[in-house]
Amino acid sequence: MIKHYEPAQAPARTVLIVEDQIEMRAIASAYLERQGYRVLATDNGADAVRTARDEHPDLIFMDISIPGMDGIRATAELKRDPATRGIPVVILTAHPYGSVGKRAVDAGCDGWLNKPCDPRRLLQEVQRRVGTAH
């Protein structure tokens, strides 16, 4: 008897969304999941750092104004750690670039998107940085 095996599907690319506005986090997560990405989400910087270290996502969308450790400090911590420094971090914020842009760049952020941000724009950024979901 001949057995046919389907090739194993590569695991989905993982995106971590760090956003304290529950509606935005839910919309972005649902949209990216429907596109086939694995999405992790948290609402604060300390959990973002812990999740990134534990799960090694392919990309992080990081809000700046989040409870506890802000997004810039969380990004700086991730970029200092050899285990996470290679993960692209895209700042996702309503702050104008000029007011915090230099701090974000100094922390090691890899990109910047202004909020509100259409979920399709998030998808474009994910695809540009890490490719398709599988």
pLDDT in tens, 7-42: 556 678 999 999 999 999 999 999 999 999 999 999
> Which runs of E-coded beta strand occur in 28-88?
38-42, 59-62
Within a domain: 48: yes
Over the chain, what is the mean pLDDT? 91
Within a domain: 39: yes
Within a domain: 74: yes
Query: Alpha-carbon torsion 75, 101, 110, 66, what sign?
Result: positive
Express each pLDDT in 71-80 by its tens digit.
999 999 999 9
Within a domain: 2: no
State the Rg of the chain over Cα: 16
Prediction pTM value? 0.91
Domain tally for the chain? 1
Q: d(Cα 133, Cα 96) in Å, to the nearest integer?
A: 30
**Residue 105's domain spans which residues?**
14-128
CATH code where residue 85 lies: 3.40.50.2300
Within a domain: 86: yes
Q: d(Cα 31, Cα 7) in Å, to the nearest integer?
A: 27
